[in-house]
Structure 1
């Protein structure tokens, strides 16, 4: 029994250390950029040892991958909460897309997911992360709409990739000061244009 309690305690400490590293890394990557952040700064910000950093992450790049994974997971969660299954397939797509843009308003998120992530980790790793999270929600919504006859039977992988790219570009444009209302109106019109094709 004592051994089980000790194991739980060690696991909790390990998880707390990992969480501190992720929080510190996110903060510094956003404030300074990935390239300008050194591992000693991350360790100091997290209040842990350098050994603790390398116990959890092979290197700074692996730490970025973990930060990006967590951010992408958070975006997917926000989309899923905003677009429950009770919505019609068309409304779920529109609402889910708007939720994505809202989620990307979180400070530093566009830098992490759309700039530093792809630049440092590469397109293949980013595709894997996005496929597990935000792009999965989009793909599921599109598949549901196609099966319901709300969208035409277009190739699902290509449709997901093209629409995801449009939403990413909109998020970057809004971050740079573009009109959120304009981008939302265009994206909604694209969804409605696809819906009208199936009618």
Structure 2
């Protein structure tokens, strides 16, 4: 049976996916500064022209890789939060934070998202990408908790930003620690009372 012809859109999507896959592996293994465009196109098995057709430069590809990793981490966090008993704000936030710390211990995400992300893109752009995936979810949990009476009435957006800042700093601290298990215990010892303080 004759295979249907692939459309230009199909070929373009396949090429872009190959570039992101190649960038993801190379950036995770060698860091942004240690990867040249020659290595990227060779790994992806595409032409240099294909790289610049899809991305303005190496930084553009890095953004796509970081965005993909952040999206995957956000889904892990959402899945973990969903396992908490309904209406239990403290357990929801605890499971979400533990899932975030788990995700950030993966070498791929740790290198691209936590180490290179802020330095390559600058703090503001890095935060913008990270928040696009997770901020709305945190705001939703807080708003629902306030509506149910399980969270103190506070400005939702400001509180969501504050909790994300805590989570990001916790991930950076744990990922840089010599003893990550001890660092995680210390983080949860500090964050636990913060979460409890948000209950009415």
TM-score by length of 1: 0.86
| 8 Å contact kept, 1:89–1:141 | no
**Equivalent residue number for residue 127 of structure 1:** 127
CA distance, structure 2, for counterparts of residue 100 and residue 24 of structure 1 = 24
| 8 Å contact kept, 1:104–1:110 | yes
**Equivalent residue number for residue 75 of structure 2:** 77
**Equivalent residue number for residue 34 of structure 1:** 32
Partner of 2:166, secondary structure, is helix
1:190 matches 2:188: no
| 8 Å contact kept, 2:87–2:148 | no
Aligned-residue offset at 1:51: 1.0
1:56-95 aligned within 5 A: 56-84=54-82, 87-90=86-89, 91-95=91-95
Which 4+ stretches in 1 moved above 3 angstroms?
A: none
CA deviation map 1:45-91 (0-9, x unaligned): 11211111111111111111111111111011111211228632412
TM-score by length of 2: 0.85
Partner of 1:108, secondary structure, is helix
Aligned-residue offset at 1:92: 1.8
1:138 matches 2:138: yes
1:29 and 1:51, CA in 2 relative to 1: closer, same or farther beyond 3 A? same
CA deviation map 1:136-184 (0-9, x unaligned): 3222222222222222122222212221111111112221234222223
In angstroms, what is the RMSD of aligned CA positions?
2.1
Q: Any stretches of 5+ residues in structure 1 without a counterpart?
A: none
Alignment coverage as a number of residue pairs: 192
CA deviation map 1:15-48 (0-9, x unaligned): 2221121111112212221122111111111121
